[in-house]
A and B are shown apart, each in its own frame.
Chain A
Amino acid sequence: MSTFVEYAISALLVIGGAFTLIGAIGLARLPDFFTRLHGPTKATTLGVGAIMLSSVVYFSSAGHGIGISEILITVFLLMTAPVSANMLAKAAMHMGVKPMENTRGNPWEQ
């Protein structure tokens, strides 16, 4: 494995880890339920994407063929993350969770 590939893999791992960490910090720091929803759903999108990409690069350069299963895992994650975020938001609205004070606009009643 060439040095360049190793640097690329390390960079992708650091980027993925950093975004996952920022997502976790967001979960702790943001003020109310609805804003907290943004942290973890977004960390999956880019953080996991970068980690998966590094795995694809590693296994294809190590001569195991291109890692199609990693790409499929990423696709599955990207397809399921919005659905779970949507269900969480819907459940919160149903239970009447209060948004933070300076939120403009109101969730509907229906």
Chain B
Amino acid sequence: MLDRLSFPQPWLSLILFTTWQFLSEGISGASVVMGLLLAWLIPQITRGFWPERPAFIKPWRMPMYLLILLWDIVVASFSVARLILSPRKPRPVFVSYPLQVEHPLAISILASTISLTPGTVSADVSDDQKLLLIHTLDAEDDQSVIDAIHNRYEKPLLEMFR
């Protein structure tokens, strides 16, 4: 009974609560009550989808990671735009990327990062969570794609989730 009334993911509850305060027009009694209700209800409903507590070791590295990601999105958008507007055909590749991160949350962050940066979409994770299938829009060879992703995104994630 007490378990039903608790906050199983305190950080998620805190994020939900603050997000709700920003979304409503100014902080009022009603928005605080509604925010608390959502901060309790949503983690309770979704608790089955979180296999274990997220194991962030170094969360302060996240802002730097996001800044690098934003910069890469801008740069890579221009190269994809050039490719779309140029007459030559793209050279798509399906790359099997060997994953070194093991935590499920880290894998999903990496997969989302890959999908967000223009030119690559992560298509699937193998059942044993060792391989990530990536569709690349235009690439010379597989190894350069794998190295770029490993050095730029996977290494910081490995540091964060060790």
Contact = CB atoms under 8 A, between A and B. Distances in A.
Interface of A: 19, 22, 25-26, 29-32, 34-35, 37-39, 41-42, 45-46, 49, 68-69, 72, 78-79, 81-83, 85-86, 89-90, 93, 99-100, 102-108, 110
Interface in B59-95: 73-74, 77, 80-81, 84-85, 89-95
Range class of the B interface residue count: 35 or more
Nearest to B142: A105
Contacts of A86: 111, 115, 121-123
A65 B90 CA distance: 45
Given A41-B115, A42-B80, A82-B116, A103 B94 contact: yes
Contacts of A100: 92
B35 interface: no
The 8 closest A-B pairs by CB, nearest first: A82-B115, A105-B94, A89-B123, A42-B118, A26-B84, A82-B112, A46-B77, A68-B22
B6 interface: no
Given A26-B84, A107-B123, 5 more contacts: A31-B89, A41-B115, A82-B122, A85-B121, A93-B123
Contact of A35 (B92, B115, B116, B142): B92
Interface in B91-125: 91-96, 111-116, 118-119, 121-124
A53 to B, nearest CB: 11
Nearest to B131: A108
A89 B135 contact: yes
A44 B92 CA distance: 21
A87 to B, nearest CB: 10
Given A46-B77, A72-B22, A89 B124 contact: yes
B32 interface: no
